Structure 1
Amino acid sequence: MSENKEDTLASFQNITGIDDVGEAFSHLEAADWNLMEALSRVMPHEDAPLASTVQQQPEPPATHPVESTNGFRPPGYEEMPGTSNAAAGFFHSIHNQNQNQSQNSHQPQLQQRFPTSQLLAQLTSSINLDPASSQNNNQNVIAFNIHFNQQLYQIRLPSEATVEQLKRKIFDETSVPVCRQAIRGWPPSKASDAQQLGTRICNLDLAPENELILVDLTDDGFMDTEQDEVTQRVDKTFTIDIQFESDSPLTLSLSGRTKMRELKMNVYDIKSIPVRHQEWTGWPNGCDNETTLAQSGIELSHRFAVRSTAHLAQNNTTQHNNAFEVVNVDSESSADEFEDATDFNNAEYIFTDSPPAQPLNRHLIPNNTDDETSGSTQFVENYKSRYGDPHPEFFVGSLEAARQLACLRPAKERKLLAIYLHHGKSILINVFCDQLMKHESIIQTFKEKFVLYGWDMTYESNKDMFLSSLTACISSNASLTARNIKLDKLPAIMLVGKSRQLGSNCEVLSVIHGNIGLDDLLTRLIETCEMFEEQLQVEIRQEDERAARDQVKAEQDMAYQETLQADMAKDAAKRQKEASQLAERKRLESERAEEDARRESIRLVAQQSLPQEPSEQDAGTSKIRVRKPTGDFLERRFFTSNNLQDLLNFVTANGFLIEEYKLIRSWPRRDLTAIESSQTLETLKLYPQETVILEER
């Protein structure tokens, strides 16, 4: 066994014909890099008939082999995939030995057995284990893995074969006519050349092993343009399996827009292998550091192998004994990470493009920020500056304000609260922010359905502040959920909604981790929205019913108030009328009292003014009778010398004011109140007796 793992790996692949580096790594790791033990794991067991694998194949003639009708060598020529010329010669010698033994033995040739231990010993002794010398053995053979109808067809051709010969070989395997074959997966720079049947496959910049997709054209047909394929693959998610030489494998789910330099930088962040020391196998030719996964021509699920060349950096040597051509892509690493990579710039597996500088500051919120509002403001400003347009609209303010805006609203206006958790040390940040968060559908969904709040958890101080706020605003479970999200799952999006069962409290409905594709992210957002809106329907219906009841009640209250106001107005008018009548009565009574007092006063004055009434025996007297309006009489005696005023005072003293009544003499009829009141009764001939009539004026 070679002292170097690279030599052991090359020898193992050379002997077994296993071109998949990851598979070869797994066998060697299981055998603790013991070549003999690893070979025994994949070679036949002791009771496996070795002769049966070779005795049926006729020995090819010494001259050049006759080509078949498709332009290929006969099936018996190098039919053992992956074996070197030395191994093939060894099997040929075993075949001759078995034939000689069969001639000298009565036992059938099929009964020959060859112990595995002897086979391995002769194989390892007869094959040169030097990877450098064995590399040229297979350099003229190119392997193709043809994917068609969910099946894999393996084809090996000389490098001088043409595209037409490849298609004829595909026809032999799949029965798809050449005229209906459309092949995808060529290197982007050679896609147009691959459409020409006469192009030699050695001129297409192919790797020793290539993944191609066969499409059976319909009768209507279509053009197999690589640009259309790239356009369709841009938004798809690529599953990248990376096998490391002495470390655990890694699986990444990346968007088709991911560039090769970003993939290299992700490996650097996870495995701490500097970009200048990363040696990749499995990339098609023609790729550079700006080539995206969609443009590279790899499958949606692809496997790479990566090893560190740090131990070779001083000697500037690179091993080229892997099954694929080695491609090393510069990435967005910092200047310090590339400062000692001068010797590698001349190596043919490293691209010459100078890498752009990676920002030294990965955080979006400075350490020990004062409060949530200032931290949120700095987050939004730095996010826009770092990732540019387009970008989602983040809420600026405290988490509590964002929660109130999203959750504490009527059911018809309520939204979900999406909390974007950022971490500058996560390897998924660039892909997630540069690809997924810039997609128009994602931006529009956040705008219509969510209130988006962002926070950077790179610094522990800011993380603790946010988790405390999350506990206060949402719940302790939400804080615990955010705390338990691992770095390799960040960035993450927590979707928070107000639960009808919890009253005014909120709960975490879903957590979306950053290792997700565009389609899956959009699907998760829409599914959560639909689930949330379905829960809101009950609350919306209840709010509508409550609003209808409130409206009926309001209308009833309004009608009652109108009736009450009318009644109150009537009562007020009635009270006002009664008060007015009362006041009028009081006024009349007051006036009447005043009038009575005045009349009484006049009567008393008149009564006091009356002269003494003479007796019947006195001479010169006159007896005056006054007939009242009621028909009865007033009677009094006066001296004839008394004047008319005395008679009027007599009438007034009995309650008949002269201003209201007239005193009429019956014959001749004469109004006594209209003549001079100072005349005596004698002068007026009102004696010895007279009857006068009292009439109202």
Structure 2
Amino acid sequence: MNSKDNTVADFQACTGIEDVGLAFKYLEDHQWNLIDAVNSAMKNDNIVDINYKGDDISIISPSQATTSLNNIYSANSSSSHKVNPLINTSSLTKNTNNMGPKILIFNITYKDKTSVIKVLESQTVGKLKEYIEERFKIPTKEIYLSGWYNNLKVFNYTILSSLSLPIENNLQLSKLSHMTSGKIPSSNESQSKRLYTLYIKNCWKDQKYTLQMPGDKTIKELKDTFAEMSSIPTKDQEWIGFPFEIISDSVTLNKTGINFPTQDFEVFNKASDSNLLSHTSNGRSSVDEDEPMMIAHLPPPTSSKIFSNIHETQEEGEGDEEFLDSSDNFGVFDAPCSSFKLSNQQPLILPNTIDVVEGQIHFVNQFELRYGKTHPQFFIGTMQHALDASCNLPILERKLLVVYLHHEKSILSNIFISLNLCSETVINYLNANFILWPWDVTHTSNKELFLRITTIKFGKILENTLKTTNVNEYPCLIVFQKCRGQFDILNIFKGSTCLEDLMTTLIHSVDMFRNNQQSSLQEEMERDTRENIKREQDEAYRLSLETDKAKKIARVKEIEQEQLIQKLKEEEDEFKMKEKEAIKMSLADSLPEEPPKDCVSPVTTIKIRCINQSKTFQRRFLASTKLEILLNYIASLGFDQKEYSYMTYWPTFDISQLNPNETLKTHNLYPQVSLTITERVE
């Protein structure tokens, strides 16, 4: 079979058109583009909807849809929920006539083998992995797909239509257990960053979770994320599975030594007995076990009075079905955003949801299936992410956070959504000024999860508010603002609020927020000014201290330098004195003995007078003694000839300038000479 025959066969399988000629005409009109041809054929009035299960596709005609609908009415006629039989089914046919599901083609390559899998774009990545499991016999949790369009990062709950994929996609299939490189390949991820897949068992509730986290996330962030997924607060979590004891929650996953790319954990609740579970995997609250109520179309109210009449009509303790039977006040009509809720319709958030993001994605998908795609922009992410995108931004960039709480059992849900929430005016104003975070509190488990999350972020203020809110006051819009570092509830809108009051109060809330924003900005500017002045004063004081310290250090160094110089000078003087004493002693030891008075040899008497010291010295020398001996004698007395002059009286001359090798008699220093010692003048 050639490629065109395959295309014709695929076209007939999708559309149910058995006429080959007609199939060829559709394909040729659209240049053999299968998707465009199928979408064109879906516009035919003979086709209402496409149901799929696995790879099988079946076509439902309008008559079949009507028959199925009547069967649903018959099946529910005996139930406790009473349904108005005058529900207009034309809107169902009208809405489904234009539905043309897009078929995506995936060429999956594994070990040089390529297999083609066709999936509707309304399905999830997890569903695609189930098909791959059937085809390649690889468990879903072992499947890793790479090569996504535009290097997209996907999760099992990701809906294919949200990825804007082309018709044909080429993906490479890898088995996680066989990936020995220590890194899941990803073209847009650096080599140093890892993405861990964590399989976590909640031993307190006997539940299992799969969580993907980057390796640069800390243990604290892992525990906070798990606290939002489970019912175990961060401080009460006890983790089993780390290879060694983790001392600090600030350690990143990359540094914990856990296995890559997957790791198994068990988490216990330290604050509770693990044998006494408040919830079990098989247990559900009475609210969860109730069948969804059947709600008929209601006429649009003309004023806010009709909302109050709704509450007056329903007495306390009466069921929602009694209100629906009251045909005196309301007629049956086609609602602008929704048709009706059937017993097989999925809730906005499935019971016992543990993943907030997954629950919100399901919320948006179901919301659009019921009410259409014209609605405010819902923020998809955890409560912390919503706060970071609204209240935790810098003051001038902040927005108000609005929490939308839905309840299936409220008789005002469809009315509020159709007339208020889906109003173009409200949509535009919410998108421009608010971050809208949605949640469904119909089921007790989801309400408890919501309260756990909000208690962590806001304390008890929201829990106390919800305790006083009964079912028929839902839906609720709760407006939060951050003022002076605290989260406050600015306004609460309940299901009975009319469009005019809703818009008026929303505008008033924004005005109040702007005023508070200006006040906070002014306070922050004043605080910054005070802090700047304080910083300048502290800096000036610090510089003054440093200057004083520097002066003190300089003075200390100066004193130390002076002391050192003085010490060196003293040591030098002492050394010179010792050196002089040594020279004096040496010279004294070298002198010949003084001749006696009765010496028969010629003797000369030398008298020495020191003017500065008023001292007089006298000694006898032989006339034949050399002048050098006399000079040594005078030096031994402490009068170095370099510093002193040895002057005679008459004629006046300095004997140190004479030849020291000649005798005293030769120099006419005989028989008696007086010398005066004076300091030399430079």
Please tell me whether Structure 1 or Structure 2 has the larger radius of gyration of its CA atoms.
1
Q: TM-score, normalised by structure 1?
A: 0.44
